[in-house]
């Protein structure tokens, strides 16, 4: 899996990744599955995922299904972490001082996982989608997926890829 994060449009990042991946034509036709997962109909061997938040974009490209999510860190409803996190995730979040940065670390990994599988967050109760509790910059393989946590000043990102 290769990925880029930046202030460019997500499709601009995808085009750059396609070129870097061996000169693949960046202006490919994109379609969506019934659950909204984008794909290239003429290149089933290329998998990608796009995300954007504020002025930031994240794109992942791989030879197996991938998911990517980026979020600007900002306070939300105080009840959101209790609603969105599993018991173990919530305990971890609380043990770290209920910091929004930690919530978004978990949230972006959750979104990356459901984008990777094509499920979408609304097909399952979000708290049942459990992800590893990673520090920014860490990677972990679990349950047939490779997870990576990304971070920068004021943002968090998550990546997920199916392991062949």
- Global confidence as pTM: 0.93
The pLDDT of residue 1: 84
Among 54-58, 123-127, 159-163, name the one with the lowest average pLDDT.
123-127
Assess whether pLDDT exceeds 80 at residue 123: no
Assess whether pLDDT exceeds 90 at residue 19: no
Q: Are 58 and 148 in contact (CB under 8 A)?
A: no
The pLDDT of residue 113: 95
User: Can you tell me the distance from the alpha carbon of 131 to that of 142, in angstroms, rounded to the nearest whole number?
Assistant: 9
**Structure letter (DSSP) for residue 23:** S
- With a pLDDT cut of 70, the percent of the chain lying above it is 96
User: Can you tell me the distance from the alpha carbon of 161 to that of 24, in angstroms, rounded to the nearest whole number?
Assistant: 20
Residue range 8-22: average pLDDT?
A: 87
User: Can you tell me the distance from the alpha carbon of 32 to that of 25, in angstroms, rounded to the nearest whole number?
Assistant: 19
CA distances from 30 to 14, 33, 49, 65, 112 (A): 11, 10, 11, 15, 19
Specify the higher pLDDT residue, 4 or 22: 4
Specify the higher pLDDT residue, 119 or 108: 108
Q: Are 93 and 103 in contact (CB under 8 A)?
A: yes
Residue 56's nearest CA partner among 151, 160, 121 is 151
Domain parsing of the chain, residue ranges? 2-162
- With a pLDDT cut of 90, the percent of the chain lying above it is 69
Residue range 81-110: average pLDDT?
A: 96
Tokens 């070129």 sit on residue: 19
CATH superfamily of 2-162: 4'-phosphopantetheinyl transferase domain (3.90.470.20)
Residue range 117-132: average pLDDT?
A: 83
């Amino acid at each position: 899996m290769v990925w880029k994060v930046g202030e460019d449009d997500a499709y601009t990042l995808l085009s750059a990744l396609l070129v870097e991946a061996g000169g693949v034509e960046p202006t490919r036709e994109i379609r969506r599955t019934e659950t909204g997962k984008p794909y290239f109909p003429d290149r089933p061997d290329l998998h990608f995922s796009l995300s954007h938040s504020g002025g930031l974009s994240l794109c992942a490209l791989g030879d197996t299904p991938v998911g990517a999510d980026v979020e600007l860190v900002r306070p939300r409803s105080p009840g959101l972490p209790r609603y969105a996190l599993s018991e173990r995730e919530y305990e971890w979040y609380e043990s770290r001082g209920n910091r929004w940065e930690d919530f978004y670390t978990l949230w972006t990994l959750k979104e990356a996982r459901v984008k990777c599988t094509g499920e979408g967050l609304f097909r399952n109760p979000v708290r049942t989608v459990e992800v590893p509790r990673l520090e920014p910059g860490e990677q972990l393989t679990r349950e047939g997926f490779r997870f990576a946590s990304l971070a920068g000043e004021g943002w968090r990102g998550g990546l997920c890829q199916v392991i062949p």
